[in-house]
Amino acid sequence: MKNVVTLFAALALACATVAAEAAELTGTLKKIKETGVITLGHRESSIPFSYLDAQQKPVGYAIDLCTKVVEAVKAELALPDLQVKMQPVTSANRIPLMQNGTIDLECGSTTNSLQRQEQVAFGPSYFVVNITAAVKRDSGIKSLADLNGKTIATSAGTTSVPLLKQYERTAKIDVKEIYGRDHAESFLLLANDRAAAFVMDDILLAGQIANARNPHDYVILPESLRTEPYGMMLRKDDPQFKALVDKAVGAAMRSGEARKIYDRWFTQPIPPRGVNLNFPATPAIEGAFADPNDTGV
């Protein structure tokens, strides 16, 4: 009998130790608790996910969803005065800035790819994109195959570049690529007729077109080179923060709150000029909301 009591005492002690370890903060949450600051990475022209409005303030769909995460962090760490710092990032520096601790959560338009998962982790996918091409309406280009022999613009350092090269090989077409430094510059190449098409994620194309001088001059081709999920980027091997992000975003998706945020940015006029992207949720996006997941491509 005494042995059994000793055994229970030992078990209880072991459980208590485990509980104490679980309560101890690690990784990003520990850093936020110690510094009282969370740094969000944002983009400058990824409309409507993350961009600067007329007052140069970062706004967008991803920023609103990240705010849900910030609220969850405040509640979790009992830090009502948590300071939120906004750090602009580009497609080329977002991963190094995440790895070296400059940003804690990236709220942009980052594809959740398996290759990137070797370096960083992702929250639940909040958008699913088609990679396709925007062309001028009067160009007569109706499909990707019509691009044979033409010059195609795309933004350097994006996943569109290898996809375009792959498509060139499989479809046996020959195109000349020209790289813009960012999406605005790539679109400028299309607008100025320096390129016949701009290959990029459909929603980013819709964003550039909505802000163009004559939005009606452009069309987005219905084909798709690939679909890709977008997710918030966070540091790898940080289970506490990852669980918090998953829970906060997942809850917003299940409650319908995320859907309201979606409609606000994609089907209503948005800053800075009150344009409407007219981009209702596709079935793939509905699917991501119904079953929050971080599956990459």
Closer residue to another protein in complex, CB, 194/254: 194
Closer residue to another protein in complex, CB, 158/208: 158
CB atoms within 10 A of CB 165: 11
Closer residue to another protein in complex, CB, 117/227: 117
- List residues near another protein by CB under 8 A: 91-92, 95-96, 115-116, 118-119, 151, 156-158, 161-162, 165-166, 169, 176-181, 185, 188, 192-195
Closer residue to another protein in complex, CB, 48/180: 180
Least gap, CB of 118 to another protein (angstroms): 7
Closer residue to another protein in complex, CB, 57/181: 181
The DSSP annotation for 96-154 comes to HHHHTTS-SEEES--B--HHHHTTEEE----EEEEEEEEEEGGG---SGGGGTTSEEEE
Distances (CA, A) of 132 to 20, 23, 91, 142, 167: 51, 46, 19, 12, 11
Least gap, CB of 244 to another protein (angstroms): 24
Q: In sequence order, what are the beta bridge partners of 235? A: 120
Least gap, CB of 93 to another protein (angstroms): 8
**Dist. CA 119–CA 134, nearest whole Å:** 31
Least gap, CB of 156 to another protein (angstroms): 6
Closer residue to another protein in complex, CB, 3/100: 100
Task: Count CA atoms within 13 Å of residue 201 on its CB side.
Answer: 22
Q: What percent of the chain is helix, strand and coil (3-state, nearest 5)?
A: 45, 20, 35
Least gap, CB of 33 to another protein (angstroms): 22
Contact 216, 80 (CB under 8 A): no
Least gap, CB of 45 to another protein (angstroms): 15
Residue recorded with tokens 């208590």:
16
